[in-house]
Structure 1
Amino acid sequence: MSEIPVGASVPTPAPGAEEHLALDFVNSAVAQPGGQFTDLLGTPESANRWLTAHGLAPADAGVREMCATQLRSMREHLRSLFAARADGLPALPAALAAVNDALSKAPTAALLHWDEKTGPYRSTPCPTSEILDRALAALAADAADLLTSPDAERLTACASPPCNRYLLRHGRRHWCSTRCGDRARAARAYARRTESKAG
């Protein structure tokens, strides 16, 4: 499992990722040709960068390995739910339980505080220990919204092996990127040439 080094190119977001953060999240583990695998959550530092880039944590959140592990676990649960929805299969109970657990952990109301000089005010506490809960809840909520929306009918896996990303299908497009589409078309053309030479 490799991490994309700082400054390296990150795969372009799959169709639908702009509207659904959870889609970008499940696609943060990228299978590539030649057996290469890139994990944007592979280390605590890369997980912190991903969360920061998506507005889910401050740059100095100090994500630890335990937090990165929880993020990767949630990603796999969401991938399982996306696969079940895309393939028309029942969801795994453990995946549903993980999403619902994440949804229930984040506080939804700002607490009332009182400043001696300025009086009452409301704010939502977010110490470091709660940042991950909030991020997981936001990702779980977005995934739940996607899975229960009309967009769920367009949810599909990229049709270009070995790519493992998900996308929202637009028209006949079944690839997450131009690169995957080109690779699939090249493979089909090669197969046709090979068949015609063999025949």
Structure 2
Amino acid sequence: MRAMSETPTAESVLPPAPGAEDYLALDFVNSAIALPGGQFIDLLGTPEATNRWLAERGLAPADAGVQEMCATQLRSLREHVRALFAARVGGLPALPSALSAVNVALSRVPTAALLQWDEKGGPYRAAPCPANEILDHALATLAANAADLLTCPDAERLTACGSTPCNRYLLRHGRRHWCSTRCGDRARAARAYARRASSQPR
């Protein structure tokens, strides 16, 4: 693994969790990664890292020049989506603030081409696309994917990784509750240690 001082990529930390290939929202919530030893990596931690993450997923040009304000908005949406995932997995009511944040993000991009007016050519219809629309598009796309996941049959398989301290989510396949082989090995080792400790005479 790379040193934490270097800029990590998702692949240098952990492989994508099961289901992240199909649902961008899973990849999104898993971009904040808790590691053993109290280490934490945020793949949206800086404007540059956020720009790279968005570009790698086709949500922004590589030269979009993401600013800190944009990165902050993405991190905020991520926490709201994470809260909705936690509510779904735990069978709990959703936080109204998380629902509201996702719905606001969903409504940031018009669903129809808007009416525009050119002084010379008159009226025409087109979708707006100035530079600040990149963030709106990314937020709306991520929110829509989260809403799709939470309302489709696959939501029944949504679960949190069962290996402490991992905080990633995945789509469960069979009995597997781990987001990676590394987390599965750590969980099995912890269980074996607990069994040995409990069998020791006191």
Assess same fold via TM > 0.5: yes
RMSD (Å), alpha carbons? 2.2
Could you tell me which runs of 5 or more consecutive residues in structure 2 were left unpaired when the two chains were aligned.
none
Cα displacement (A) at 1:198: 3.3
The aligned residue for residue 37 of structure 1 is 40
Which of 29, 50, 69 aligns to 1:66? It is 69
What does the per-residue CA deviation read over 1:121-178, in whole Å, with 9 as the maximum and x for residues that have no partner? 9753322111001000000000000000000111110000000000011000000000
| TM-score, reference length from structure 1 | 0.90
Q: Does residue 1:97 correspond to 2:100, yes or no?
A: yes
Unmatched segments (≥5 aa) in structure 1: none
User: What is the aligned counterpart of 1:20 among 19, 23, 27?
Assistant: 23
Equivalent residue, structure 2, for 1:125: 128
Structure 2 Cα separation of the partners of residues 74 and 91 of structure 1:
14
Q: Distance in 1 between matches of 2:171 and 2:135?
A: 27
Q: Is the 8 A contact 1:16 1:23 kept in 2?
A: yes
Answer with 104-113 or 175-184: which moved more: 104-113
Corresponding residue number in structure 1 for 2:159: 156
- State the match for 2:171 in structure 1: 168
For residues 45-84 of structure 1, what are the structure 2 equivalents within 5 Å? Answer: 45-84=48-87
Structure 1 partner of 2:7: 5
CA distance in 1, matches of 2:34, 2:199: 31
Go from structure 1 to structure 2 and tell me whether the alpha carbon gap of 1:50 and 1:4 turns closer, same or farther (over 3 Å shift). farther
Amino acid aligned to 2:7 = P
Q: CA deviation at 1:110?
A: 3.8
Secondary structure, counterpart of 1:56 in structure 2: coil
C-alpha change, 1:121 and 1:52, in structure 2 (3 Å) is farther
Q: Which amino acid aligns with 1:43?
A: T
- For 2:138 and 2:39, the matched residues in 1 are separated by 28
SS at structure 1 position matched to 2:132: helix
User: Alpha carbons of 1:128 and 1:3: their partners in 2 closer, same or farther (altered >3 Å)?
Assistant: farther
